Chain A
Amino acid sequence: MPISTQTTESGPTGPGSTPESGQKPPQSPAPRQQKAVVRPGDRIFSAATLIAGILILVILAGVALFLLAQSKDTITAQISDPSQITGGKGFFSYVWPLVIGTLISAAIALIVATPFSLGIALFTTHMAPRKLAPVLGYVIDLLAAIPSVVYGLWGIALAGNLTGFYLWLSKWFGWIPIFAPAADGSVSQTGRTLLTASLVLSIMILPIITSLTREIFLQTPRLQEEAALALGATRWEMIRMAVLPFGKSGIVSATMLGLGRALGETMAVAMILSPGVLTASLVVSGNQTIASEIAQNFPEAAGLRLSELITVGLVLFVITLLVNMGARAIVARTSVKGS
């Protein structure tokens, strides 16, 4: 590699490089001569990309740090005089009904959305006519494109129609605590209950779980599917034997990502739910979620209340972070095996 020795120092080989070549050998030992040329443009550009990458780490750390910094007032109030906090019994008794409400609504949304998502993903990948499948997938993606505030508006407009259904539920299934009517046998008159909000949530997370599982199902080894069919399996047996086992962990992680989304979804709940204290029954008014509590109270909040709401937001951040990290860990573990 005699040519590369000339370029290491003085850029591209010029006509005047011959006299310099005599000085080279003592300066640079043999292994260094193989090194690629680094120009200033390269340095600047790679540094710029590196900075952008590091900025992402900084932003994520900043989210945690600045939320923590703004939570300082709440923490000191909690230590010095817990009765200052909303509710008068300290931060934890203020936040736990919100956490429970959030978990309940997310759980309902997940229970409703997951079977539907699996069904839709299977339908678009394995059952729908080949030519129609992309169009059908696009239709479901439209559900994801609609802004959450429009879902909220839609939920408010239609919530009233659910009261009949809730009355029926409380009549026949009232013995299950979550469908129990109020003491006088009535259910919410407006239909703006946590169950309504959760059902709207389930529609909102449906496209996310669907698109993730659809991708997993598409990755099923074609040969395994064909082998199953060649052995005489019906289409459903093929799906059960080849597609579902292959996608099992993918389904789990897709569901968890849907859960993360449901936990943090704000507007649908904030608009539909008329909030109240934590109640077991989901067909009467009451309950509240973290995100909705922040959205409904933040615009008017000031001082300690502001700090409280930011602290509540920090709690939500931590919960969703854990859920998402769990989901990603599952994805990472399986994608190593899969590829």
Chain B
Amino acid sequence: MTTMNTTTEAAVSKPAKLTSKQLPKATPWIVAVASIIVAIVISLIAFGGFNIPVVAVLAGLINAIAVFAVSASYEGRRKAVDRIATTIVTSTFVLACVPLISLLWLTVSKGGAAISGDLLTRTMLGMKGVLDQQYVAGEATLAGGFYHAIVGTVLITLAACVISIPIGVLTAIYLVEYSNKNRLGKAITFLVDVMTGIPSIVAGLFAFALFSTIANVLLPGAAGIAKTGFTAAVALSVLMIPIVVRNTEEILRLVPMDLREASYALGVPKWKTIVKIVLPTSVSGILSGVTIAIARVIGETAPIMVTAGFAKTLNWNLFSGWMSTLPTFIYDSQLRPVSPGAAALASSERAWAAALVLVALVMVLNLLARIIAKVLAPKAGR
């Protein structure tokens, strides 16, 4: 910036051309439309028909080449490379949206077609293959339901919250307020990071191993009783704690030091400063972090499968007997249909209906997290 004067002098002595030729703004769009048309024509001639994936791939390739050619001939090579990079980067995003849209569409259309109030309020109690065969033959309505799975999901997730929120939030408080970056604090931070990477099925195996070891000690030979809803909740906590810690820690670090110092200056003890000043300031962030964590673990399947089994009927007791959750219900229905063969379709429809409920639940939780973050945010002028 200090050399400003010398550069202006140079510019005066020899006027340089500051602009170069540029293509009109609409050019990329025109090229894109043209290449789609060419791709369709090629598909019709060479591939014998209109094939969407083929057209899409061809159109993408032709578009990239055409953009490069047009730009290189008019604007020069560097600008052409820039344009082709922009095209490629943009298309990665568009391509990534394809599976998302396809998945959501399939869930809404298949699940929406199958779902009914009965499915939401009934369990699989007394379910027989004959009922599904009658449904597929068009003689009866879709039997069964997943009320038990909804109850299981709610109970297990709540239990997981009860375990992991206090541990997670207190650990985050320790890391931010007490550890002073000592060795223990660093070790915890590192291990929390490592814990985020634990495969969900390993968390499930851990909870199962823990409780079957305990069960073996208390009642030798009764390892089977280790599969309960509570075991599943412990498995989910292993997955949930690191998320809660990370999110809470991040938020607590955002609380201005001034607030704490002002509180100390008034003679307020440290713990009261944390409880009355730091936590209320960051409550919106903590709650939204917790909601995100719930949304993450509510869709977990593998840890529930190995810890709570597959229940067919309603079970309100977390501490005894198998339980079912929406994800395990989906897995079980799809892979082990009530009636094999053609009537497996009925099980598949129940699975899709449950998937719709699950996806809706997760989306609502994610949305809720955003709303909490906005609504409860401290109303300080920033």
Residues of A within 8 A of B (CB): 12, 37, 39, 41-42, 44-46, 48-57, 59-60, 62-63, 66-67, 69-70, 115-116, 118-120, 122-124, 127-128, 136, 139-143, 145-154, 156-158, 165, 203, 206, 234-237, 239, 257, 260-261, 263-267, 270-271, 291, 294-295, 298-299, 309-310, 313, 316-317, 320-321, 323-325, 327-328, 332
Contacts and interface: CB of A to CB of B under 8 A. Distances in A.
Contacts of A332: 190
B222 interface: no
B113 to A, nearest CB: 13
B301 A266 contact: yes
Majority secondary structure of chain A interface residues (helix, strand, loop or mixed) = helix
B363 interface: yes
Contacts of A128: 93
Given A53-B188, A153-B355, A63 B89 contact: no
Contacts of A265: 199
Nearest to A293: B201
Interface stretch (B101-109, B126-134, B154-162, B280-288): B101-109
B55 interface: no
B90 interface: yes
Given A59-B238, A119-B93, A145-B363, A291 B194 contact: no
Given A41-B271, A59-B241, A139-B100, A321 B358 contact: no
What band does the interface of chain B fall in when counting residues whose beta carbon is under 8 Å from A? 35 or more
B86 A139 contact: no
B96 A143 contact: yes
A291 B305 CA distance: 12
Contacts of B97: 139
Contacts of B168: 52
Contact of A298 (B99, B103, B192, B306): B306
A127 B86 contact: yes
Given A123-B89, A266-B200, A320-B197, A57 B100 contact: no
A295 B305 contact: yes
A46 B106 contact: no
B254 to A, nearest CB: 16
B72 interface: no
B271 A147 contact: no
Contact of B171 (A42, A53, A146, A165): A53
A52 B206 CA distance: 19
A67 B93 contact: no
B280 to A, nearest CB: 16
Interface in B339-382: 351-352, 355, 358-359, 362-363, 366
A51 B306 CA distance: 29
Contacts of A147: 298-301, 327, 358-359, 362
B359 A150 contact: yes
Contacts of A55: 167, 171
B323 interface: no
Contacts of B175: 53
Nearest to A12: B267
Contacts of B201: 264, 266, 291, 294-295, 313, 316
B93 A120 contact: yes
B199 A67 contact: no
B118 interface: no
Nearest to A126: B89
Given A56-B171, A119-B88, A323 B197 contact: yes
